[in-house]
Every structure is written in structure tokens, then in C-alpha cells.
Amino acid sequence: MKVRGRLLVVSLMVAAVVSVVAGWAIARSRDDAADGDSVEIDSQATFDVPSIETNSVVDGTPFPDVSVQTVDGNELPTGDLVGQPMVVNIWGSTCTPCKKELPDFAEAHAEYGDEVRFVGISYLPASDREEAFARDRGIDYELLYDANGEFITAAGLAVFPVTLFVAPDGTIIEQTGQLDLERLRTLIEEDLL
């Protein structure tokens, strides 16, 4: 028993050392291969960094009519949102640009909320954490959740944030990526008022 126990301990120590050395070698080879954020491709393939252009163009199309959820888990058809000028921001707490723009949406809502309906649709599941994330950034308009992806699929979205400017008849007038307050004001005044 003593020999087998020692053999097991020695085997585990050797495996640990080999794992550490192999991990170091792999990490080192990746560090040597990577130069900042560049990628070298040895074929005729191209790589496009995902951007708002990755999303489907929805300008001039009807606002998707699918079900989303409230924070309480109740279903709400998005078609029920249509009827007045609307700014719909598709966001999530895991999206860095979304984090940056939410305070600007809060300020725009304070300025235009009497004339324009503001709606936030998170691509993450409804949760108190997600709700608090937006509320902590000043958002006090209605927040909805697209945990099953029906809305983002119907709208052809893959890169976030996305903001849709919707006419009272439900036609999407404009689709944009990340916004600041100045651009948000301009689009509201040009497209919705």
C-alpha cells in the first residue's frame, strides 16, 4: 500500500508540473503570435469586426410584433407598444456601449417623455439585477425583456446596442448603434417630432 500511495503522489506531482509547463508554453506561443489586437490570416478569408452593419436593415419596415416579458415574467406583445412616436433601445447589462449610453437615454426621456414613448428591451432574461442595472443609470421608462430572442430575431439584430425610432403607425423610421445625448436629441427631433 505504501508503494502505491507514493507512486500515486509522484504521478500527480509529475502531471501537475507537466500541466503547468504546457500551459506556460501555450500562453507564451499565443503572446508571441499576437501583436496587440491584430490577427494574421494565412488564407484568402476576410474577417469583419461586427458592427451595426451586421444587423439587418429595418428602416421602413414594420416594428416586429412578437412577445417580450416584463420583469415579473408577464408576456407583452410588442405590437401593443405601437401608437405614438417611440424610441426603442435594445440593450443588455453585459454590453459596454449600452452601459455608456443609458444615462443619455435617461436624460432624453426626461426631456421628450411627454411626446415620445421610450422603451428599453434587454436581450437578457428578466431579473431584478438587470432591472437595477438600468435604474441605477437613471432609466425610469418601461423595461422589457427578450430572453427567448424572439424580438432580436424578428428584427435581425446581432450587435448591440441598437435603437429603433418608430412612427405612430409602427413603421421603423431609423435604426442606429450607440448614441450620445446630442445625436439622440437630433434623431428624435428630426424623425419623431
Hey, where are the domains in the chain? 1-45, 52-192
For residue 21, pLDDT beyond 80: no
pLDDT tens string 29-80:
554 444 444 455 555 544 444 444 556 677 778 999 999 999 999 999 999 9
Which pLDDT score, from 0 to 100, does residue 46 have?
Answer: 47
pLDDT at site 59: 72
Number of H helices, E strands in the chain: 5, 7
DSSP string, 22-64: HHHHHHHHHHHH--TT-----SS-------GGGSPP-TTSBPP
- Cβ–Cβ contacts within 10 Å for residue 71, how many? 15
pLDDT at 47: 42
The three cell numbers locating residue 24: 506556460
Q: What are phi and psi of 180, to 5 degrees?
A: -110, 175
| pLDDT tens string 92-108 | 999 999 999 999 999 99
Task: Please enumerate in sequence order all residues whose Cβ is within 8 A of that of 95, keeping only pairs 6 or more positions apart, or say none.
Answer: 160, 161
- Report pLDDT for 158: 85
Architecture of the CATH domain 52-192: 3-Layer(aba) Sandwich (3.40)
CA distance 37 to 93: 24
Q: Is the pLDDT of residue 20 over 60?
A: no
CA distance 158 to 50: 9
What angle (nearest 5°) sits at the alpha carbon of residue 148, between those of residues 143 and 151? 60
How far apart are the C-alpha atoms of 30 and 28, rounded to whole Å?
5
pLDDT tens per residue, range 157-176: 888 999 999 999 999 999 99
Instruction: Tell me the average pLDDT of the chain.
Output: 83
Give the mean model confidence (pLDDT) for residues 87-93.
96
